[in-house]
Amino acid sequence: MNEITPHENLDILVVGAGFSGLYQLYRLRQLGFKVKIYESAPELGGVWYWNCYPGARCDTYGPMYQFSIEELWRDWDFDELYPSWDKIREYFQHADHKLGLSADIRFNTRVSAARFDETQCRWSISTENGHSASAQFLVLCTGIGSKPHRPEIPGLDDFAGRSFHTAQWPQKGVDLGGQRIGVLGTGATGVQVIQEAGPVAAHLTVFQRTPNMALPMRQRRLDEADKRALKVNIKEKYARRAHTRAGYDFDSRDYAGESAAGYTPQEIQQMYEAYWEEGGFIPWLGNFDEIYTDERVNRIAYDFWRDKVRQRLTNPAMAEKLAPTIPPHPYGVKRISLEQRYYEVFNQANVTLVDLHETPIERITREGVLTRDGRVHELDILVFATGFDMVTGGLTAMDIQNPAGMTLRSQWREGVNAFMGSMTHGFPNMLFVYGPLAPSGLSNGPSCSELQGDEIVALLKHMRDRGLQRIESSAQADEAWRKRIDDFAAGTLFGRAESWYMATNIPGKAAQMINYPIGMPDYLEQWRRVKAEGYDGFVFN
């Protein structure tokens, strides 16, 4: 890390050293821009620095969860099909060793504020450690899950035990053995913590609001033959990411296809059995496209999932809580997690499931969690697996002001407008990657970081080559982009669930489809159209 100086002048300041920020640094340095990253953590990795809780791992299989840069993948292999947080950190160190990224990163430097000076046509950036910078362009790569959310529950300060949000886990770890543990939340992080805590806890209490429609991960160790096999046609697999809905090397066309019409129930059952055995996201992203629009097809998929899960549960009452007869929401319209032994945990005598619809939490007490039925669930450790202010939270956490003095937080109070998921009107020379109204949370992260990232790099090069100093999306383009997304989402089942996809997991946040749901190929086609028309929708000076 470079020695910190009081101030520096840059062409571009990138905020965040996860996949999207590192890719921006890599590409922009190649083009000769004077660029730096400011990163709040002491190391590379974005969320993979902060997320080190027990069981934390990626639910994208390893070859697709890395950069497509041959210099990196040629001599890198994960030891498991789905890599753990510590191995992903090792991958980032590998990338740093190969590409020398740290030379242009200021670690332990959290951006607190940014102001745009119209007279200078530059951003002035302040940080919590007193460092500052001036840059013509501000490129925000804070990721979709960088602002942890803790629900406001009375009495938390009264708790005599220890409490942690999964994204604020102590770097040295926490010994869960022999402890009375409570896990609040059953999203992706909750599933992973519960799998690890159940076998070692004296008692585990899971507080569930909505059951997770988790799918089998089919995790396995990789031997040398496995590693070689995963690299067969790897260049073609990376190239294919631009042509699949979620930026993976497969989609529904490789499996079920667009429509269930023409298949008998027996044929669909056979297809689903094969997908289930393959595991991972195949039963979700390889399913019929209609599961997002047709309630009948969606219910067939849900019923198959429900029956598979119930086979693994020994208590009928528990089965009804974890895999209800009637779906709590349509299948696949909330973030589906991958699991290894999640459901078996609930067969253990030392595990209690608390249904928060039946017995909501009243408050936290010194001893544990008091629910409405008058019971105090006594705990030594309380884990908040309560997610994040997704997609926008990392952006609005900073005090970013435009030339008129309006903050980004204020501008987006009634919902996000952001043309191409990359700019918002009124905030000139500020771009974001893997953020709101881009494929982001509906896409494989590294894929979006590269594919959208390439478009941002091309746009910045376009401006430099033509001597252009200022760019801003038009208000009309912003509104049309949001309408395109809203109209598409209205024709799907996504609105039938409270989820971070629809920005409804945070109290008071404006409800809207906060990612680009039409798919990566269409998103990139929109970029091609915009560029062919001289970057129509952007205003240059």
Measure CA 439 to chain center.
11
The CA distance from 243 to 520, in Å, is 7
Token readout for 103 is 């030379």
Token readout for 104 is 């242009």
The CA distance from 132 to 8, in Å, is 7
The CA distance from 326 to 298, in Å, is 12
Write the CB contacts of 128 (distance below 8 Å, at least 6 apart in sequence).
109, 110, 112
Q: Considering only CA atoms, which of 194, 199, 230, 15 is closest in space to residue 106?
A: 15
Across the 541 residues of the chain, what is the mean pLDDT of every consecutive 10-residue run? 69 98 98 98 97 97 98 98 98 98 98 97 97 97 97 96 98 97 97 98 98 98 98 98 98 92 95 97 96 97 98 98 98 97 98 98 98 98 98 98 97 97 98 98 98 98 98 98 98 97 96 98 98 98 91
Token readout for 433 is 């990657």
The CA distance from 238 to 398, in Å, is 34
Q: What is the pTM of this model?
A: 0.96
Q: Taking a C-beta distance cutoff of 8 angstroms, is the pair 168, 153 a contact?
A: no
What pLDDT shows up at residue 90? 98
The CA distance from 473 to 493, in Å, is 30
Longest CA pairwise span in the chain (Å): 69
Which domains does the chain carry? 7-147+389-540 (3.50.50.60), 156-226+245-384 (3.50.50.60)
What pLDDT shows up at residue 258? 85
The CA distance from 39 to 21, in Å, is 9
The CA distance from 183 to 387, in Å, is 12
Cβ count near 223 (within 10 Å): 10
What pLDDT shows up at residue 331? 98
The CA distance from 278 to 88, in Å, is 23
Cα-trace Rg, the chain: 23
The CA distance from 399 to 393, in Å, is 12
What spatial distance separates the first Cα and last Cα of the chain, rounded to whole Å?
A: 36
| H helix runs in 146-241, sequence order | 188-200, 224-230, 234-240
- What is the SS3 string spanning 418-465? CECCCECCCCCCEEECCCCCCCHHHCCHHHHHHHHHHHHHHHHHHHHH
What pLDDT shows up at residue 285? 96
Cβ count near 229 (within 10 Å): 10
The CA distance from 398 to 35, in Å, is 20
Write the CB contacts of 272 (distance below 8 Å, at least 6 apart in sequence).
283, 301, 304
Token readout for 78 is 């994960």
Phi, psi of 85 (to 5 degrees): -55, -40
